[in-house]
A and B are shown apart, each in its own frame.
Chain A
Amino acid sequence: QVQLVQSGAEVKKPGASVKVSCKASGYTFTNFYLHWVRQAPGQGLEWMGIINPSSGSTTYAQRFQDRVTMTRDTSTSTLYMELSSLRSEDTAVYYCARMTMSGGTWDFWGQGTLVTVSS
């Protein structure tokens, strides 16, 4: 069965960076796009960007363009999202989610990773 298992909660200080992982299993890792989405406490969902695990190509939301880096390791079927220059507003749950390469079909989601930014 398809699973996206994310790394555990993180606590970071303002100005630091955080790297969240998302390990995929149950399907061919390079055959599906993966997105990163975040949700601040009590707020809605926010799209951060997408990566093609096959080529490594990425597209980021404009507001994260200069602070986010999405990478993947095909040998371990793991996706990474690194966010730098953290500020308190980056406190949120970060999710990875899978999408088909044709038809834009979103299906499975990771369980989420809470990142807390606090001095």
Chain B
Amino acid sequence: QTVVTQEPSLTVSPGGTVTLTCASSTGAVNSGYYPTWLQQKPGQAPRTLIYSATNRHSWTPARFSASLLGGKAALTLSGVQPEDEADYYCLLYCSNPRVWVFGGGTKLTVL
């Protein structure tokens, strides 16, 4: 069973930059895993920010960018705003078996 690993928590100052990462126990993350990033604020449903590793949805602020970096998927927030404080989840597709697996989530604190 694939395990997807994220940093449990990170802290960033307003206006700063932070990178969250997402690793797979099966090896290097590539585009075939369709890396997806979601944001969830308390009491709300998740919101999809990034799909297919690097693509923003129309509603995703430009300060959110994503990449494949050193065998991991990465989400970078630049010019962090107080409203970016949230839980961020990585989601990967595993082709054998054909399942989707969430990471444990990163709690981002803006302080």
Contacts and interface: CB of A to CB of B under 8 A. Distances in A.
How many of chain A's residues touch chain B, expressed as a range? 20 to 34
Nearest to B98: A59
Contacts of A50: 100
Question: Chain A interface secondary structure, helix, strand, loop or mixed?
Answer: strand
A44 B105 CA distance: 6
* Nearest 9 CB-CB pairings of A with B: A104-B34, A105-B51, A45-B102, A47-B100, A44-B105, A109-B45, A106-B48, A44-B104, A112-B45
A16 interface: no
A14 interface: no
Interface of B: 1, 34, 36, 38, 40, 45-48, 51-52, 55, 57, 87, 89, 91, 93, 97-105
11 contacts: A46-B102, A47-B99, A50-B100, A59-B98, A103-B34, A103-B52, A105-B51, A106-B38, A107-B51, A110-B45, A112-B45
Contacts of A107: 48, 51, 57
Question: Chain B interface secondary structure, helix, strand, loop or mixed?
Answer: strand
Contacts of B89: 44-45
A61 B99 contact: yes
A104 B46 contact: no
B102 A106 contact: no
